[in-house]
Amino acid sequence: MEEERWGLPSSLCESREVTKPLEVSISLSNAALQFCPCFFAKLISKEQSELDQDLDDVEEVEEEETGEETKIKARQLTVQMMQNPQILAALQERLDGLVETPTGYIESLPKVVKRRVNALKNLQVKCAQIEAKFYEEVHDLERKYAVLYQPLFDKRFEIINAIYEPTEEECEWKPDEEDEISEELKEKAKIEDEKKDEEKEDPKGIPEFLLTVFKNVDLLSDMVQEHDEPILKHLKDIKVKFSDAGQPMSFVLEFHFEPNEYFTNEVLTKTYRMRSEPDDSDPFSFDGPEIMGCTGCQIDWKKGKNVTLKTIKKKQKHKGRGTVRTVTKTVSNDSFFNFFAPPEVPESGDLDDDAEAILAADFEIGHFLRERIIPRSVLYFTGEAIEDDDDDYDEEGEEADEEGEEEDEENDPDYDSKEIAIAKVKE
């Protein structure tokens, strides 16, 4: 078998000067075949007559060509075309056009039609302005209904923290039919529970309620370190406060703690500033209120209890004398409580990649606490809400698989997956 170099037969390398194909050329050929097969076919046809003679010079075969030889010739043809500057320039120009104008259709429209399209865009801007007003009223409704929810949340707080003992009627819960078990098993379980209750002291309220919620939710459990858990056992409640009417849109998360050995604060706060108006520079991107920034609070740590810092010891050797000394240094430490010290957003709005990633995650967590954890904490404690969330994502995955079969839609340059991301944020 003929020796190959760079994936090419040695006879081809010896017959003419061939350099190793550049990655950009290969990428360009792949892109050309995908986005403009007709154009590429025309170029191949144009050069075919000249290339046929070159291929005859490279390898003459008296026997009938095999499938392998056909593949070799096809590879030779592609490589040689990708070394032709005129072909590369033409392909690059065509691909640039595809990137700049996904379909080219709008640019090809008559001027009078383009004017009408501009009129539609102006209408779209007005729609975004009306939508902004809609979300402002939604915020007002959230504030109104928060007052109605609060008595229920207050009773939840009292039950969790052993301030109020619910009645038998309040404790009665009828499970779904699929979750019901036989009366015999119920009675057996009841007897076992009574035995256990006799063996141990009766706990007060629902111990470690919010810590359990945090550990059950992946988004939050990733933040909680082992050294955070003893502190979070003292977390009694999380509340959300909405900005007053007429004030800039915002909300505050309040973390209420019982007295503990770690810090003196009774309440830790996190404030999120929001905007519900289209950006003048990009009005079409508006899709409801967005978090623009957040502010934490100062934690008054007791001496030696600050879990957001750690002390490390490092040995240093003197270059001249050779003596060794131990240096103690305080550095930041991973902790849930770093949540209350987010990066500051400068007035220019410019952030480095790390700070931007931290803030993006911070906004997601704040939104999740407000929309999911606070109103439905008992379901995250039991795990039922987590199962529902998993079911939602499974359904989305199935839909994505079905959409994946629609190759024409996904390969359309105008196709935008933004709607999928928006749907997840709105959940």
DSSP string for residues in 224-278: --GGGHHHHTTEEEEEEEEPPTTSPSEEEEEEEE-S-SSBS-SEEEEEEEEE-S-
- pLDDT beyond 60 at 223: yes
CA nearest to 232, candidates 277, 254, 262: 262
Task: Indicate the SS3 state at residue 3.
Answer: coil
Q: In whole angstroms, what is the distance from residue 419 CA to residue 250 CA?
A: 25
| Residue in the structure block whose two tokens are 């120009």 | 93
Average pLDDT (344-352) is 72
Cβ count near 136 (within 10 Å): 15
| Residue in the structure block whose two tokens are 């050329």 | 25
Please report which confidence band the pLDDT of residue 90 belongs to, taking 50, 70 and 90 as the band edges: confident
- pLDDT beyond 90 at 3: no
Q: Please name the residues in contact with 47: beta carbons below 8 A apart, sequence gap of 6 or more.
A: 81, 84, 87
Please report which confidence band the pLDDT of residue 115 belongs to, taking 50, 70 and 90 as the band edges: very high
> Sign of the CA dihedral 170, 174, 180, 184?
positive
Question: Could you say which DSSP state residue 282 is in?
Answer: B
CA nearest to 32, candidates 71, 84, 90, 72: 90
Per-residue pLDDT tens over the stretch 95-112: 665 555 555 788 888 999
Average pLDDT (150-169) is 95
Q: How far is CA 241 from the centre of its chain?
A: 26
Cβ count near 148 (within 10 Å): 8
- pLDDT beyond 60 at 49: no
Q: What is the pLDDT of residue 98?
A: 54
- pLDDT beyond 80 at 307: yes
Average pLDDT (280-292) is 81
Could you give the angle at the alpha carbon of 360 between the alpha carbons of 356 and 361, nearest 5°?
Answer: 120
- pLDDT beyond 90 at 146: yes
Cβ count near 197 (within 10 Å): 11
158, with CB counted inside 10 A (0-12, 13-18, 19+), is middle
Q: What is the pLDDT of residue 2?
A: 47
- pLDDT beyond 60 at 59: no
Highest mean pLDDT among 15-29, 59-73, 75-89, 161-175: 161-175
Contact 35, 98 (CB under 8 A): yes
Q: Up-side HSE of residue 117: CA atoms within 13 Å toward CB?
A: 10
Average pLDDT (122-134) is 92
Q: What are phi and psi of 296, to 5 degrees?
A: -95, -150
Average pLDDT (378-390) is 84
Q: Which helix (H) or strand (E) holds 139?
A: helix 111-160
Q: What is the pLDDT of residue 198?
A: 55
Model's pTM, two decimal places? 0.62
Point out the least confidently predicted range of 134-143, 152-161, 340-349: 340-349
Residues in the chain: 427
Q: What is the pLDDT of residue 5?
A: 43
- pLDDT beyond 90 at 237: yes
Tokens of 423: 């749907």
Please report which confidence band the pLDDT of residue 173 belongs to, taking 50, 70 and 90 as the band edges: confident
Domains and CATH numbers, the chain: 117-169+205-382 (3.30.1120.90)
Higher pLDDT, 343 or 239: 239
Q: How far is CA 265 from the centre of its chain?
A: 32
Average pLDDT (30-53) is 51
The residue type of 305 is K
Contact 166, 172 (CB under 8 A): no
Higher pLDDT, 77 or 188: 77
Please report which confidence band the pLDDT of residue 269 belongs to, taking 50, 70 and 90 as the band edges: very high
Tokens of 393: 């994502």
Q: Please name the residues in contact with 160: beta carbons below 8 A apart, sequence gap of 6 or more.
A: 205, 206, 209, 236, 237
Alpha helix (H) ranges present in 59-84?
67-82
- pLDDT beyond 60 at 181: no
Q: Please name the residues in contact with 316: beta carbons below 8 A apart, sequence gap of 6 or more.
A: 324, 325, 326, 327
Contact 425, 360 (CB under 8 A): no
Higher pLDDT, 352 or 211: 211
Q: What is the pLDDT of residue 230?
A: 97
Highest mean pLDDT among 30-39, 89-98, 381-390: 381-390
Higher pLDDT, 81 or 213: 213
Highest mean pLDDT among 11-20, 46-55, 158-167: 158-167
Contact 369, 238 (CB under 8 A): yes
Supply the mean pLDDT for the chain.
Answer: 76
Q: How far is CA 327 from the centre of its chain?
A: 40
Please report which confidence band the pLDDT of residue 46 belongs to, taking 50, 70 and 90 as the band edges: low
Point out the least confidently predicted range of 24-28, 200-204, 379-383: 24-28
Cβ count near 93 (within 10 Å): 9
Average pLDDT (11-31) is 43
Question: Could you say which DSSP state residue 22 is in?
Answer: P
Q: What is the pLDDT of residue 112?
A: 93
Q: What is the pLDDT of residue 95?
A: 65
Average pLDDT (415-419) is 38
Q: What is the pLDDT of residue 314?
A: 84
Radius of gyration of the chain (CA): 33
In the chain, pLDDT over 90 holds for what percent of residues? 39
Task: Indicate the SS3 state at residue 7.
Answer: coil
CA dihedral (102, 104, 106, 112) in degrees, to 10, reads 160
The residue type of 252 is V
Highest mean pLDDT among 15-24, 66-75, 393-402: 66-75
- pLDDT beyond 60 at 293: yes
